[in-house]
Amino acid sequence: MKVSLTVNGKPMSGEVEGRTLLSTFLRETLSLTGTHIGCDTSQCGACTVHVDGKQVKSCTIFAADVAGAQVTTIEGMANADGTLGRVQQAFQDHHGLQCGFCTPGMVMASAALLAVNPKPTEAEVRHHLEGNICRCTGYHNIVKAVMAASGQDVSMAAE
Amino acid sequence: MPKDFEAKTSGIGAPMKRREDIRFLTGRGVYTDDLKIAGQTYAVFVRSQVAHGRIKAINTEAAAAMPGVLAIFTGEDFKDVGGNPAGWLIKSRNGEPMREPKRPVLAHGKVRHVGDAYAAIVAETYEQGRAAAQQLADDTDIEELPAIIDMKAAAADASNRVHDEIPDNLCYDWGWIEDNRAKVEEVFAKAPHVTTLELVNNRLVPNAMEPRASIGEYFPGTGDYKLTTTSQNPHLTRLLVAAFVLGIPENKLTVVAPDVGGGFGSKIYHYGEEALVLAAAKKLGRPVRWTAERSESFLSDAHGRDHVTKIELACEKDGTFLAFRTETYANVGAYLSNFATVTPTFLHGTLMAGPYKVPHVYVNVKTVFTNTAPVDAYRGAGRPEATFSLERVVDQMCRELGLDPFEVRRKNFITPDMFPYTTPVGLAYDTGNYQATLDKVIEIADVAGFEARRQASAKKGKLRGLGLSTWIEACGIAPSHLVGILGARVGLYDAATVRVNATGNISIMVGAHSHGQGHETVFAQIAAEKLGVPESSIEIVHGDTSKIPFGMGSYGSRSLAVCGVAMTKAIDKIVAKGKKIAAHMLEASEADITFEAGKFQVAGTDKAKTFGEIAFSAYVPHNYPLETLEPGLEETAFYDPANFTYPAGAYLCEAEVDPDTGKVTIEAFHCADDFGNVMNPMIVEGQVHGGVGQGIGQALLESTTYDETGQLLTGSYMDYAMPRASDVPFYNVDYSCQTPCTHNPLGVKGCGEAGAIGSPPAVVNAVIDALHRGGITHVKHIDMPVSPQRVWAAIQG
């Protein structure tokens, strides 16, 4: 079947089977390979995207189910002029990524948190990111980056 | 970050932001699975569902007839090619070489662990491959044999064998140093006090977030092969798959490791899947790709740790160490992965003196085959196991004798005036200051305020404890001639090529591989400072054997200490040649040319040429000493270090235990490390954070559990407890105590593994300390992971 939707502000469409996951559709059909697949049990969060503004693990939803929706992926998070968006810039400034594999999911999850909770506490950030696994950073600089992106002083995050 | 580090904005020591972040943050990284190649096909592996079995028949007929199936491979197809070799030959105490069973591309005759691949389907689509793999599994007759899981039982039972030709399931029985055994026994027999602990160093699954993936291509026009794969060391993989396994000439195979999503050791090794996709690509004349599902990763990636150790400490009543003695069983799994035999031996036994001036040490390691996934080096690799044993037994001794764990360590430290210091286990520490890092961690952790914090916890009904670990490791494993004597089958140098282009910008091809470490930024910082040019004019190239010189890749915290030094040596050659060119152009003597801040100058004059002018002249040699000097400006250097480097440090963990539930919370974690000189403090901090995060994972959460039949009970993220953001605190990291390495010109020691080495014993020591301070004094030890269930059970006695 054909599915049409808006991805990163652009209308897109492609042929899918009923069983095709949104993560597969993004990567294989639309070649948006910034969305990563790190597990097969919907635990790791590397495939996190926004569907109509809400944070969704794209491996938990069928492509056919998002027909007509507005989907945002990591490729759509930069500013219009191509510079890094607010959350992306905070991740670079605070070394919130190492190998980069979990990073797209972390950025999408963090942006979704800040959209509903503009000044989260450290505990709220850590709680919100429980569905996103990172093996490189020990989370220190990710949490710091998210708090910095919210405009908060991060000097309490001991260096 | 200390202020003196923040001040610098470029070059060595500056906390420069990473250039690679831009592509990772915008979804433009290119990992192996992101590549699409015209005509690609999909490999799906058929893996054993039993831990141990004899393959009676594989009937491929029905699977082969299924839609989209292009080829089926079984162990029979690879029985005449080579095996995947062990990188080190270890000898047993009796002088016999280790037992080294063949590790085939696909299991042949027997399957030896759950997940052992015995066949592969190649199909037009992944779904078709999966369907045919299921059919083939149904059409395979495997006679199940009793599984050999417990390593001590495996060594005791000669009737049941992982490999039919190895009667006692023993790879080797290693003594280090065997000649010291009798003397150590004598010391123990006379010692005023002996403390004994039996410890489990829990098996871990490395779990890099990017699953392994490989794409094989074959180009019939030239007979060339290409392997794109998730590797930490593409040249090593090329050597193994070409020369040892498939018999492809090395120069007909290119191995590319593009962006790689973490490794932690698990992507050092060559795996059978890499050989399969290459062989299949040739047979089909089409690209063949494979990406592991996470379940496959759990079953087939090389695991880490998995030791059972009895450690004894002989000492005076005042806590002065007299001797350490250990007896360790190390589980190597079903086959020998590439570094599996060196990890429990030379990366473990040689560290068993720690940072202490203990006069006598004897280490015995029995490495055992079992019907489990292969075990190999995982972040720290042998050194975390040594550190855990030492730091736990030291704390236990202090408790038995009523001594202060800080003072006992201080009393036994090798002191700064004693370097270079040769340990009784064969290492020569070049430099260090263990007192300084201990003092520093006491300062930054506010140990003086601990009692008040403990009382505050007590008011909430919680038990608070303080756990110390003073660790040392050996990084940048070398030199080649020594490791050759010890049994290494490879050299351990690294290499870099510095190519100054005609327009003056620079390409640097390095043997090291970055899979999260930020080499593209840090190597450029060092080169920029050495050459006096901006970082933006330097490109770091890695991960492609057709571009880079033969280097050994990245593991063992070796990238800067070995490859970084190779790069500086190549830069030295560039500068030396530049001086010759400048002398000619400036009509001066070469001896009078100085090079500073990117300028070649005649000393004491204002006559000078810029770096760019010299580069241009090298490639457009119109005014150039062609009769004595070749044109061009490109130099390669190989560097084989004179010794290991020896990072060290002191870690303090403050943990709170809920006595009602057994739950442990890390309240604070403090690190005072000595990494020698620091090239980019931001990245060093990040490395420590990540290592400590993994160490806390090992200490509190991660357990790789096989049942008695060899089924992996923790085979997904729903069962295997990866540390999440809410499981860990902010870490307090200090690296201001610096004793630069004395034998490399950068003075660097390596920082990648420290966190994972130093942290597990600090966590466990904190938990035991909390219990004892809370009056629960019957608990001597709790095995990792120190889960709520285990803590609660220990409290109940």
CB atoms within 10 A of CB A12: 16
The reply to whether B182 falls in a domain is no
Q: How far is the CA of B732 from the CAs of A137, A155, B668, B729, in angstroms? A: 14, 12, 8, 9
pLDDT digits (tens, 9 = 90+) for B527-547: 999 999 999 999 999 999 999
- Regarding whether B92 and B235 lie in a shared domain, the answer is yes
- Regarding whether B682 and B631 lie in a shared domain, the answer is no
Q: What are phi and psi of B763, to 5 degrees?
A: -65, -50
Chain B hits for A158, CB-CB cut-off 8 Å, are 730-733
Instruction: Say if the Cβ atoms of B24 and A136 lie within 8 Å.
Output: no
CB B584 within 8 A of CB B623: yes
For B589, counting Cβ atoms within 10 Å of its Cβ (0-12 exposed, 13-18 middle, 19+ buried), the class is exposed
Rounded distance, CA B465 to CA B456, Å?
12
CB B507 within 8 A of CB B501: yes
Q: Could you report the predicted ipTM of this complex, rounded to two decimals?
A: 0.98
Residue B293: give its domain's CATH number.
Answer: 3.90.1170.50
- Regarding whether B445 and B323 lie in a shared domain, the answer is yes
CATH topology of domain A2-76: Ubiquitin-like (UB roll) (3.10.20)
The reply to whether B6 falls in a domain is no
- Regarding whether B329 and B405 lie in a shared domain, the answer is yes
The reply to whether B501 falls in a domain is yes
Spatial neighbors of B443 by CB under 8 A, at least 6 apart, are none
Rounded distance, CA B406 to CA B467, Å?
10
CB B91 within 8 A of CB B97: yes
Q: What is the mean pLDDT of residues B579-598?
A: 97
Rounded distance, CA B9 to CA B172, Å?
52
- Return the pLDDT at B590: 97
Residue B635: give its domain's CATH number.
Answer: 3.30.365.10
Q: What is the mean pLDDT of residues B303-332?
A: 98
**A-B contacts at Cβ under 8 angstroms:** 191
Rounded distance, CA B34 to CA B511, Å?
23
Assign B347 a pLDDT band (cuts: 50, 70, 90): very high
* β strands within B359-417, DSSP E: 360-369
Among B566, B31, B43, which Cα is nearest to B256's? B31
- Regarding whether B414 and B321 lie in a shared domain, the answer is yes
Instruction: Say if the Cβ atoms of B730 and A35 lie within 8 Å.
Output: no
- Regarding whether B737 and B788 lie in a shared domain, the answer is yes
**Interface probe with A: pick from B26, B231, B520, B652, most Cβ of A within 10 Å:** B26
Where in chain A are the domains? 2-76, 86-149
- Regarding whether B272 and B350 lie in a shared domain, the answer is no
The reply to whether B687 falls in a domain is yes
The reply to whether B552 falls in a domain is yes
pLDDT digits (tens, 9 = 90+) for B108-118: 999 999 999 99
Tell whether A81 lies on the interface with B, counting CB pairs under 8 A: no
Tell whether B101 lies on the interface with A, counting CB pairs under 8 A: no
pTM: 0.97
CB A126 within 8 A of CB A143: yes
Rounded distance, CA B29 to CA B638, Å?
30
Domain finish residue from B639, B672, B707: B639
Chain B hits for A143, CB-CB cut-off 8 Å, are 725, 730
- Regarding whether B752 and B776 lie in a shared domain, the answer is yes
Among B315, B355, B382, B379, which Cα is nearest to B176's? B382
pLDDT digits (tens, 9 = 90+) for B737-791: 999 999 999 999 999 999 999 999 999 999 999 999 999 999 999 999 999 999 9
Which residues of B, range 723-782, sit inside 8 Å of A by Cβ?
A: 723-726, 728, 730-733, 755
The alpha carbon of residue A98 is apart from the nearest alpha carbon of chain B, in Å, by 4
DSSP class per residue in A34-48: TS----SSS-S-TTE
Tell whether B9 lies on the interface with A, counting CB pairs under 8 A: no
In this predicted structure, the answer to whether residue B362 has a pLDDT above a threshold of 60 is yes
Tell me B106's DSSP state: S
CB atoms within 10 A of CB B161: 18
Q: Which amino acid is at A130?
A: E
Chain B hits for A29, CB-CB cut-off 8 Å, are none
Q: What are phi and psi of A51, to 5 degrees?
A: -120, 115
Rounded distance, CA B54 to CA B314, Å?
48
- Return the pLDDT at A159: 47
Spatial neighbors of A28 by CB under 8 A, at least 6 apart, are none
Rounded distance, CA B149 to CA B333, Å?
9
The alpha carbon of residue A68 is apart from the nearest alpha carbon of chain B, in Å, by 23
The reply to whether B244 falls in a domain is yes
In this predicted structure, the answer to whether residue B6 has a pLDDT above a threshold of 80 is no
The alpha carbon of residue A150 is apart from the nearest alpha carbon of chain B, in Å, by 18
Instruction: Say if the Cβ atoms of B693 and A140 lie within 8 Å.
Output: yes
- Regarding whether B506 and B577 lie in a shared domain, the answer is yes
Q: What are phi and psi of B23, to 5 degrees?
A: -75, -35
Q: How far is the CA of A109 from the CAs of A39, A47, A146, B268, B712, in angstroms? A: 17, 10, 10, 31, 31
pLDDT digits (tens, 9 = 90+) for B374-391: 999 999 999 999 999 999
The alpha carbon of residue A157 is apart from the nearest alpha carbon of chain B, in Å, by 6
H/E stretch holding B43 reads strand B41-47
In this predicted structure, the answer to whether residue B2 has a pLDDT above a threshold of 90 is no
Chain B hits for A33, CB-CB cut-off 8 Å, are 27, 30-31, 33-34
Which residues of A, range 38-57, sit inside 8 Å of B by Cβ?
A: 38-41, 43-44, 46
**Residue of chain A nearest B731, judged by CA positions:** A158
Assign B157 a pLDDT band (cuts: 50, 70, 90): confident
Query: In terms of DSSP bridges, do strands A70-72 and A48-51 run parallel, antiparallel, or are they unpaired?
Result: antiparallel
DSSP class per residue in A83-131: S--HHHHHHHHTT--SSSSSHHHHHHHHHHHHHH-SS--HHHHHHHGGG
Per the structure, how many domains does chain B have?
3
Which CATH superfamily, name and number, covers A86-149?
[2Fe-2S]-binding domain (1.10.150.120)
Tell whether B125 lies on the interface with A, counting CB pairs under 8 A: no
pLDDT digits (tens, 9 = 90+) for B40-85: 999 999 999 999 999 999 999 999 999 999 999 999 999 999 999 9
- Regarding whether B647 and B789 lie in a shared domain, the answer is yes
Rounded distance, CA B712 to CA B641, Å?
41
The alpha carbon of residue B517 is apart from the nearest alpha carbon of chain A, in Å, by 6
Tell me which residue in B27, B261, B692 faces A99 most closely, judged by beta carbons: B261
The reply to whether B563 falls in a domain is yes
Instruction: Say if the Cβ atoms of B686 and A77 lie within 8 Å.
Output: no
Tell me which residue in A27, A35, A100 faces B24 most closely, judged by beta carbons: A100
- Return the pLDDT at A158: 53
User: HSE of B44 in the Cβ direction (CA atoms, 13 Å)?
Assistant: 20
Q: Which residue has the tokens 């090619």?
A: B81
Tell whether B686 lies on the interface with A, counting CB pairs under 8 A: yes
Tell whether A124 lies on the interface with B, counting CB pairs under 8 A: no
Q: What is the mean pLDDT of residues B228-242?
A: 97
pLDDT digits (tens, 9 = 90+) for B435-480: 999 999 999 999 999 999 999 999 999 999 999 999 999 998 889 9
Q: How far is the CA of B234 from the CAs of A132, B237, B390, in angstroms? A: 29, 5, 35
- Regarding whether B440 and B358 lie in a shared domain, the answer is yes
Among B108, B119, B114, which Cα is nearest to B163's? B108
Q: Do domains A2-76 and A86-149 have the same CATH topology?
A: no
CB B441 within 8 A of CB B650: yes
- Residues of chain A falling short of pLDDT 50: 159
Domain finish residue from B621, B639, B657: B639
Domain finish residue from B245, B277, B300: B300
Chain A hits for B728, CB-CB cut-off 8 Å, are 138-140
Q: What is the mean pLDDT of chain B?
A: 97
Instruction: Say if the Cβ atoms of B728 and A103 lie within 8 Å.
Output: no
Assign B504 a pLDDT band (cuts: 50, 70, 90): very high
Rounded distance, CA B200 to CA B383, Å?
15
Q: Which amino acid is at B499?
A: R
Tell whether A136 lies on the interface with B, counting CB pairs under 8 A: yes
Instruction: Say if the Cβ atoms of A107 and B209 lie within 8 Å.
Output: no
Instruction: Say if the Cβ atoms of B516 and A32 lie within 8 Å.
Output: no
Rounded distance, CA A76 to CA B225, Å?
36
pLDDT digits (tens, 9 = 90+) for B405-424: 999 999 999 999 999 999 99
- Regarding whether B511 and B454 lie in a shared domain, the answer is no
- Return the pLDDT at A155: 82
CB B780 within 8 A of CB B505: no
Instruction: Say if the Cβ atoms of B294 and A41 lie within 8 Å.
Output: yes
Residue range(s) defining the domain that contains residue B581? 493-639
Tell whether A78 lies on the interface with B, counting CB pairs under 8 A: yes
- Return the pLDDT at B3: 53
The reply to whether B333 falls in a domain is yes
